[in-house]
Amino acid sequence: MTSSSSHGHRPRAQVDIDLDAIRHNLTLLGARAPGSEVMAVVKADAYGHGALPVARAAVEAGASWLGTCSLGEALGLRAAGITTRLFSWLDTPDTDFAPGIEAGIDLAASSLGELRRIADAAKAGTRARVHLKIDTGLSRNGCPPSAWAALVEAAAAEPRVEVVAIWSHLACADEPGHPSIDLQAKRFADAYDTARAAGLDPIRHLANSAALLTRPDLHFDVVRPGIAVYGLNPVPQPEDLRPAMTFRSSVALVKRIEAGESVSYGHTWTAARDTNLALVPAGYADGVPRSLSGRMDVLLGGQRRPVAGRICMDQLVVDCGDYAPAVGDEVVLFGAGAHGEPTAREWADELGTIDYEIVTSMYRPRVRRRYLGDRS
């Protein structure tokens, strides 16, 4: 799955993943939660960065857990040789948990039904490792507090299950000081007391990236950073995180047009003066949102230059003025921002979304992925 960097040709569209940045971010996050183990969240193909290379880099930099959403994602990592503790938390009722239990993958239960399905999948003589989830106020998955005592009591009485942890997830950790955070923390403490009263002795985990960075009192035994692993900062304060993903293409064709000529479908852009255009073979099928037409720049020849007219399925056009790019010149669509290029955050702000969605949508068959700093 690792695209080799030995291809000599210029990419149409390429995503570079800097594994040194991933390791740097993990080291920083580990240092910020010194008393806790770190579970690097690599769901959704590591937020579009590639689950296996990111998992390896995260483990190299000290992650002792990896988190996935689906069991399939966790099994894929096991099959590829990842021996680190894996936790997978959201599957459908028809999921067969038996392969996960055999592979030593920790599973989540939010209800008696889920607990039973997991217990039933454990082969005689084996125990499934389960993390019981309490809904402390996100109202997504997790067991409501009213049903919690019954869940922990059933889990404590179930010999085919080992209760490893209780856990929950925060709704507003990226808004430090939001009153829901303390309320969720209080409910989490109550849920822990109830679990202890039922005879359990679980570890606890609650903190996503934002809580890891802003709420040391909520780190507990394991922290679960996702977005910060990829170098994107979810909190208002600046942090020394390094975005790992750079989206590049290159100039495929250069031409000069006269003032008054228009560019791309619908002729939404007309040259006000004679100008040089650079054609870039990356479009919305490659992850450049069409709704950024007329609203984005690229870095080309050391400067930001605007995209002219509509972004097409396979290509876009850059207005270069009197600057004359050469065919083959590199074009950066977004990156860490260190050289003046746009960032995923900038795209997200322009589109009214979050940078999570930008990077996660970059896993596309036509986009080549290249890993920098690969030690495997």
Which positions ≥6 away from 181 have C-beta within 8 Å? Answer: 170, 172, 173, 211, 215, 218
Say which DSSP state 343 is in: B
Q: One symbol per residue from 122 to 161: x for binding ligand PLP (CB under 6 A), - otherwise; what is it?
A: ----------------------------------------
Which residues pair with residue 307 across a beta bridge? 318
SS3 21: helix
Asked whether position 48 contacts ligand PLP by CB under 6 A, the answer is no
Asked whether position 225 contacts ligand PLP by CB under 6 A, the answer is yes
Min dist. Cβ of residue 224 to ligand PLP (A): 4
Asked whether position 36 contacts ligand PLP by CB under 6 A, the answer is no
Rounded Cα distance, 292 and 310, in Å:
8
Instruction: Kindly state the tokens that stand for 355.
Output: 């940078």
Asked whether position 360 contacts ligand PLP by CB under 6 A, the answer is no
Asked whether position 224 contacts ligand PLP by CB under 6 A, the answer is yes
Asked whether position 208 contacts ligand PLP by CB under 6 A, the answer is yes
Min dist. Cβ of residue 147 to ligand PLP (A): 19
Q: One symbol per residue from 328 to 347: x for binding ligand PLP (CB under 6 A), - otherwise; what is it?
A: --------------------
Clarify whether 192 is annotated catalytic.
no
Q: Look-up: residue for tokens 């239960």?
A: 109
Rounded Cα distance, 366 and 288, in Å:
12
Q: Look-up: residue for tokens 């149409």?
A: 12
Q: Over the range 279-289, which residues count as b (16 or more CB within 10 Å of their CB) and which as e?
A: ebbbbbbbbbb
From the centroid of its chain, how far is CA 260? 44
| Region from 12-20, 196-204, 225-233, 238-246 binding ligand PLP, contact rule CB under 6 A | 225-233
Q: Are 328 and 10 in contact (CB under 8 A)?
A: yes
Asked whether position 231 contacts ligand PLP by CB under 6 A, the answer is no
Asked whether position 226 contacts ligand PLP by CB under 6 A, the answer is yes
Q: Measured from the CB atom, is 110 or 250 closer to ligand PLP?
A: 110
- Measured at the CA of 233, the angle between CA 227 and CA 239, to 5 degrees, comes to 130
User: Which one is catalytic: 43, 133, 230, 356?
Assistant: 43
Asked whether position 227 contacts ligand PLP by CB under 6 A, the answer is yes
Clarify whether 123 is annotated catalytic.
no
Which positions ≥6 away from 49 have C-beta within 8 Å? Answer: 17, 22, 230, 244, 245, 359
SS3 254: strand
Task: Indicate the burial class of 373 (C-beta count within 10 angstroms; 0-12, 13-18, 19 or more).
Answer: middle
User: Which one is catalytic: 133, 186, 265, 371?
Assistant: 265
Min dist. Cβ of residue 230 to ligand PLP (A): 8
Asked whether position 209 contacts ligand PLP by CB under 6 A, the answer is yes
Asked whether position 169 contacts ligand PLP by CB under 6 A, the answer is yes
Q: Measured from the CB atom, is 209 or 315 closer to ligand PLP?
A: 209
Q: Are 342 and 297 in contact (CB under 8 A)?
A: yes
Min dist. Cβ of residue 34 to ligand PLP (A): 18
Tell me the C-alpha to C-alpha distance, in Å, between residue 160 and each of 3, 10, 124, 129: 42, 55, 8, 9
Asked whether position 234 contacts ligand PLP by CB under 6 A, the answer is yes
Q: Measured from the CB atom, is 225 or 287 closer to ligand PLP?
A: 225
Min dist. Cβ of residue 226 to ligand PLP (A): 3
Instruction: Please tell me the count of residues contacting ligand PLP according to CB under 6 A.
Output: 12
Q: Where does this chain bind ligand PLP (CB under 6 A)? A: 41, 43, 89, 169, 208-209, 224-228, 234
- Give me the active site residues, please: 43, 265
